[in-house]
Each structure stands twice: as structure tokens, then as C-alpha cells.
Amino acid sequence: MDVTRGLLIKDELNIGLSLIELRILSLLATKVGKIVPHKVIVKQVWGDTGLFDPTTLYMSIYRIRKKIEDDPSSPKCLLTIKGRGYVFYRRVK
């Protein structure tokens, strides 16, 4: 991941990330293998807003998976831990 340019490098291809996607992925990448609660992601990425729609987070995760996973419908890198949050595992070839 190239944070300064907002790019993800996958299979030697540069994949653009939105600012929100970059923030989420950067946060998760600092906690590889650990569950990051939904509330922590929301606070770190969007701030302390009381009017946050959780669908925004779910859709952002969906878009990230489309970019990083070989099969987004069966993720191996960015997993949902139901009722708790998300966990990120670095891709190993």
C-alpha cells in the first residue's frame, strides 16, 4: 500500500483507493490479525459524529474487498467478525 499516493499495489497493478478506503485499510493494516471494532473504525475514519449510518462503513468495506480480494464473496484478507468488527490479514503468496 502506498499511503502517500493513495494506491494499493496488487499483483503488480496500481489500484486507486478513495480517501475513506485508504483510511480504513491503513487503520486495519496497523492491527494485522486483531479485531478492530466497528466503533473504533468509525471514530478514527469519520470522527465523533453522532449521526453516522453504519451502512456507510459496510459499503466502504465492500468496495475495499472488491479491490483487495481475489474473490470478494469469499474474503481471505479482510474478514467480518459478526457483531464485533473487522480483522485484516496480509496477503501472502
Domain-located, residue 81: yes
pLDDT for the residue numbered 91: 62
Q: Which residue has the higher pLDDT, 34 or 17?
A: 34
Domain-located, residue 32: yes
The pTM for the full model equals 0.84
CATH at residue 53: 1.10.10.10
Structurally, how many domains does the chain consist of?
1
**For residue 15, what is the enclosing H or E element?**
strand 13-16
Q: Is 28 left (phi over 0), alpha (psi -120 to 50) or beta?
A: alpha
Within 10 Å of residue 1's Cβ, how many Cβ atoms?
Answer: 15
Domain-located, residue 2: no
Residue 55's domain spans which residues? Answer: 7-88
Using one digit for the tens of pLDDT, what is the confidence trace for 35-85?
Answer: 999 999 999 998 876 677 888 899 999 999 999 898 999 999 999 999 999
Domain-located, residue 93: no
What is the DSSP annotation of 19-38? Answer: HHHHHHHHHHHTTTTS-EEH
